Amino acid sequence: TTESSSSSNNNNTPSATKPLATATNRVVNGAGGGAPTIVAPKDLSNVLSEDAVSEIFVETCFFARLGFVQPPSCMACTYKEALKGNIPNLQCQNWVIWRRNANKIFDPSNNIDIGENAIVVQCRSARKLLSGKTVEHYQWDERGKALRKKIRTQ
């Protein structure tokens, strides 16, 4: 199965049964390092304002109108890189909205569908995923146009 601005939205707070991270404690419980960079949209609700969420949703729609299957980076990085001589910021922590299944479009009239298909990814992780890397046990399936969660085997 699958699981997927501005500088004001650089904090992250995922939660399941117990929070993975909070605005003041950004270490992932049980992970030993760094806050998660791929979370469900509901897990950012106490960190991002409604306006910030709206802004990154509009950015996602902008990239879709340009023909991108998923946003390759945040709008700020895209703009900076479009200027001559600017190199990519591979550590950008801005959020972008991805679709778990990119074969399904976001339907604004169906909030349940959006909630189930949306996932929020930091810009730096979006770049890695699109280059074929695995990030936090997620991998982008380019052929199937889906974000897949890899099962850990020990």
In a domain, 2, yes or no: no
Chain segment 74-118, per-residue pLDDT in tens: 999 999 999 877 889 999 999 999 999 999 887 777 666 777 888
Alpha helices (H) along 11-110: 50-65, 75-82
In a domain, 96, yes or no: yes
In a domain, 21, yes or no: yes
The total number of structural domains that make up the chain: 1
State the pLDDT at residue 9.
Answer: 42
pTM exceeding the 0.75 threshold for the entire prediction: no
Chain segment 17-71, per-residue pLDDT in tens: 333 333 323 333 333 457 899 998 888 776 788 898 889 889 988 999 999 999 9
In a domain, 17, yes or no: yes
Give 146's pLDDT tier (boundaries 50, 70, 90): very high
Sign of CA dihedral 141, 145, 149, 151: negative
Helix (H, G, I), strand (E, B) or coil at 117: helix
In a domain, 15, yes or no: yes
Q: Which residue matches tokens 């604004």?
A: 108
C-alpha separations of 84 from 88, 113, 123 in Å: 11, 39, 20
In a domain, 128, yes or no: yes
In a domain, 1, yes or no: no
Q: Which domain holds residue 106?
A: 7-149
- CA 108 to chain CA mean position, Å: 19
State the pLDDT at residue 89.
Answer: 93
In this model, does residue 10 exceed pLDDT 60? no
- 28 touches 34 (CB < 8 A): yes
